[in-house]
Structure 1
Amino acid sequence: MAAISEKAVLGGSALVDEKLARHTVTAKSSKSELHLQGVQAEVYSLDPQADRRLTNKIDLKVIPIMGLLYLICFLDRTNIANARLAGLEKGLNMPPAGFNTALWIFYIPFVLFEVPSNWLMALKWIKPNIFLGAQMLILGVLAMCQGFTRSYEGLLVVRFLMGVVETGLPAGAGLLIASYYRKKELSLRFALFFAFGQSGSCFSGLLAYALMDFNGASGLAGWSWIFIVEGLVTIAFSAFVFVFTPHFPAQDRWLSKEDQTQLLARPQLDKGDEKSHMVKVGWPKIVLDYKIWLLTVLFFCADMSAGSLSSFNPTILSQLGWTERRAQVMTIPVWIIGIVGALTTTLLSGRLNTRWPFILPAIVVSILGWILHLKQVDPPAVRYLAQFAISLGTFVQMPMYIGILTANLRGRAHQSFGTAVLLGIGNCANFVSSNVFISAQSPHYPVGFGTGLAITVLSFPIMLLTMVIFIVHNKSIDRKIAALQPGEELDDQTDYKFVY
């Protein structure tokens, strides 16, 4: 298959409707064509400045609203850890393992509903702003209900319902982001996406620090106010999701016709002829795609660390000698180092168009953090440093994994299933992290720290295996290209090189 520059745009006609651009490449020829609504148009070089301006428009339209959506999700997902320090367990007379149960019950719907939710959102007649905005509104109401509940059983019911509503938000946002960007651009954009989420944890810690002073106000405990105020924030933000969330590129009208033509052409030239429909697709082949499951296992291993940080970071820090109030604030730098590390490495990986040289060292850094905790290295400041190591290593990996996956999938059906599985099944690590930090083992947590170390170590050989499989695949594609006869072409849906 002849190579096509990704800096290309349609010349002549700017007709764009709801059909994605198709490109046909003649073997061993540098001549290529794009077909749009049956109209042929030659491809010419796109001015780099014009290409950059278009990317900037997309960044300003897509990333802030999707990132803020994830920030709110993380806020509502992690505030229970802050509420614990504010007296949640005592206030609801929770049993010894009650806090762990309140954590993992939230993630049951992620396994049950994440894939169906993404398939539903990918349907042509579903508008993402309505789909995601409605879920965000309901999530805010349920988040407030946590603050008004007066029983442990009531909290569990509300937590489960929150999981049902939130399950489609991160995966839906991920699917929308993946539809707008080229392969080399995805890791940085997902790093920005995750950075917003981690900022939600920073905000949650700071807000919890302030709201602990509200203890007793209007007859409500401080932990109740954490849930109520953060639920109100979620409700208020849902209005922005309704208004500003874009549609998928082929169906949205927020860009000019010329910009939309270029936008549709860029991913086609980057990835090939992608199918936008959800009906006539090879579902068995998609479901059994080994790329999805390899990257999901890697994401699972990283999310074990992320889940441990989000659920137990305040608890662990409070046991290093700080007061509960001070521990709330000391969680913030731990999240910031993860944000800075992820953005820096994904920016570099995008420029180099490679990811594995950043992933493998990140795994090693995270392993070091878990070892320091498991060995209970003194003084306590060393274990605080361990939290930084885990955060840095973890949040460098996660956007890289989802970036690799989405860059190597073809078509909306494939991407909707892949992102849902990675963010749904991958999030099952929270089942593990929710149950291995046993209160009776405080503050040493040998099971929790040992499990975190083992799962993180496992990711290293799996990443090496993934690289070997991808290298072998790419060599087979090179052989197919070399064997092409004049007039023959490869199938864009199956015969393409993988990035890693």
Structure 2
Amino acid sequence: MASNPDKFPTEDKPIVTMDEKQRHSHDHSSDPEAATTGDQWRHGVDAAHEKRVLRKLDIHLLPFVSLLYLLSFLDRSNIGNARVAGLANDLQLVGLQYNIAAAVFFILYCASEIPSNIALKLLRPSVWIPSIMVAWGIVMTLMSLVKSFEGLVVARIFLGLTEGGLFPGVTFYLSMWYKRSEQSRRVAIFFSAATVAGAFGGILAFGIEKLDGTAGLNGWAWIFLIEGLVTVVIAFIAYWYMYDYPSTAKFLTADEREFVVERLKRDSTDLATHYDKKFVFQALTDWKCWLQVCVYIGVLIPVYAFSLFIPTIINELGYSAANAQLLSTPPYVAGCFFTVLIGIMSDNMKLRGPFVVLCASVAIAGYAILYATPAGHPGTAYAGTVIAACGVFPSIAVVLAWAGGSAGGDVKRGTAIAMTIGIANLGGICSSFIYRTQDAPAFHIGHGTVIGSLLLSIVSSCIAMFTYHRLNKQKEEQCRREGIDHSHAPRFREMGDASPLFRYTI
């Protein structure tokens, strides 16, 4: 086997700084996340071949996992459409009862995420992910039969428990197929399914609502029933359609499987991939992982508030219930477009933090318009919802790619992703209570709370960028001083991102 011409630097070729790497783009060996820029990668495999393999991965992985998340987001957020369709009136919900029903979803949803990602690592993705889908699809279907506030609360609790593992699971799953520098756009495409679900959910609810009274079910009950049954059907297909790992992917040739596995090892500087509880504790005791939780919760509170209340907010602007369902679509379409665009730009520039700050700032502008627009100007306020969507949704994918790319080793990365998503999802409880009926139509408390959470994300991102830049400089200096190169990787195999060979993404 020929030696790798793109190996890590040795003593007579020191690790270069970020500025030097930008001046000499042909030498990216010190950056394990750097994409291939030369004509050769290894074994005579050129960059064109690498692109073909990546395209093959994208075609076989992304459409299906995006569909799974579309169903997940549709099933968790359709309670907002159901409320406008008459759920609150039919179940005689008063006061904060709707808010409580929305909030209880997040309790077990958050608690189940870290155990779910550990189970995903111990079992096969093609078994675990479809199984939890079947479970939440059944719960969603049975929600069509609820007759009281108490029944709705119980159903929402179990929906959160069963849905909890999908989003962190698929995010972790994608990190086992793609290099860190390639993950943001893939997570963006995957998460854009949430915006599609929001757009599609409004149109779907508008149509399904017309079944009101059919077979003795209310229109909102048909929303739950149809969307739940579709989830169950797709889940059974997933048992046969999902692929587990690159090393066993049947759609790749033997040489392509070896190529994908090898490039992932190189990207992770050959860090540990086996399960050991110490890797879980590495994540739980790493303050940088908790910092990523702060970044994520700052953008997640607005996302959940948006999905749960946007039909209500638009309805309170003076539009009819039916028109509010339809008008909830354009903000999601705009959010979808910018989610994919920002994800691609983030990967191309190999930057995360600056894009989080940018997106959060755009969202603040949108919510400031909503906050400041007086009654009687629905068009201006509606424009604020579109601008807000263009900021909050794109930030999610970038933050998750950042969190996953900042943790070294499979198990620590999976735990860090589950921590970030699971703990930050407790913000969904906050989201459920900030838009109160008595605050309509201005909703100053809700919009103000969202702006505050976005500022938290901006501040946390700035701290993370400063910290990662400083640590990268320290590691580069250590490698120069001690002559550490990729041949020493086995020594640091179980150190995770503390390895001197690991580089954080800014």
Q: Write the mapping of 1:132-211 to structure 2, written as runs, cut at 5 A.
A: 132-211=129-208
Is the 1:94–1:152 Cα contact (8 Å) retained in structure 2?
Answer: yes
Matched residue, 1:27: 10
Structure 2: how far apart are the matches of 1:85 and 1:191? 29
CA distance in 2, matches of 1:181, 1:118: 18
Does 2:317 align with 1:320?
yes
Any idea what SS the aligned residue of 1:55 has? helix
Q: Which residue of 1 aligns with 2:296?
A: 299
Q: Deviations over 1:15-70 (max 9, x none)?
A: xxxxxxxx99573267x9xxxxxxxxx94352111101110111111111111110
1:119 aligns with 2:138: no
**Residue 468, structure 1, aligned to residue 466, structure 2:** yes
Aligned to 2:65: 66
Instruction: Tell me the CA shift for residue 405 of structure 1.
Output: 1.6
Matched residue SS, 2:112? helix
Give the counterpart letter for 1:498 in structure 2: Y
1:417 is matched with: 415
Give the residue type in structure 2 aligned to 1:386.
G
**Residue deviations 1:204-252, cap 9 Å, x none?**
1111000121111111111111111111111121122212111022344
Cα offset, 1:427, TM superposition: 1.4
Deviates further, 296-305 or 280-289: 280-289
What SS class does the counterpart of residue 10 from structure 2 fall into?
Answer: coil
1:401 to 399, 402, 405: 399
RMSD: 2.2
Which residue of the partner structure matches residue 358 of structure 2?
361
2:267, 2:421 → 1: CA distance? 24
1:206/1:329 contact within 8 Å kept: yes
Indicate yes or no: 2:471 matched with 1:499. Answer: no
| Cα distance between partner residues in 2 of 1:362 and 1:458 | 13
Contact 1:291–1:405 (CA under 8 A) maintained in structure 2: no
* Shift in Å, 1:188: 0.3
In the TM superposition, residue 80 of structure 1 has moved relative to its aligned partner by: 0.4
The verdict on how the C-alpha distance between 1:286 and 1:458 changes in structure 2, with shifts beyond 3 A counting, is closer
Alignment partners' CA distance in 2, 1:178 and 1:201? 25
Q: Structure 2 matches for 1:47-446, cutoff 5 A?
A: 47-123=46-122, 126-279=123-276, 281-377=278-374, 379-446=377-444
Q: Is the 8 A contact 2:117 2:165 kept in 1?
A: yes
Q: Counterparts of 2:214 and 2:252 in 1: how far apart (Å)?
A: 49
**Is the CA contact 1:26–1:489 (under 8 Å) kept in the aligned structure 2?**
no
Amino acid in structure 2 at the alignment position of 1:436: I
Q: CA deviation at 1:281?
A: 3.6
CA contact (8 A) 2:65 2:190 kept: yes
Answer whether contact 2:247 2:258 (CA < 8 A) is retained. Answer: no
In 1, the alpha carbon distance for the partners of 2:269 and 2:106 equals: 36
- Work out whether residues 279 and 412 of structure 2, in 8 Å CA contact, stay in contact via their aligned partners in 1: no
Cα distance between partner residues in 2 of 1:173 and 1:239 = 17
Task: Supply the distance in 2 between the matched residues of 1:51 and 1:118 (Cα, whole angstroms).
Answer: 29
Distance 1:486 1:98, change over 3 A: closer
- Deviation beyond 4 Å, 4+ runs, structure 1: 23-26
| 1:320-368 alpha-carbon deviations (Å, 9 max, x no partner) | 1211001101111101111111111221222222233322221111111
Percent of paired sites with the same residue: 25
- SS of equivalent residue, structure 2 residue 425: helix
Q: Is the 8 A contact 1:216 1:222 kept in 2?
A: yes
In the other structure, the counterpart of 2:447 is: 449
Structure 2 portions without partners, runs of 5+: 14-28, 30-40
What's 2:45 paired with? Answer: 46
Aligned residue in 2 for 1:7? none
CA distance in 1: counterparts of 2:93 and 2:277, whole angstroms: 50
* TM-superposition CA deviations, 1:96-153 (whole Å, max 9, x none): 1111011111110122211011111111xx1211211111112111111111111211
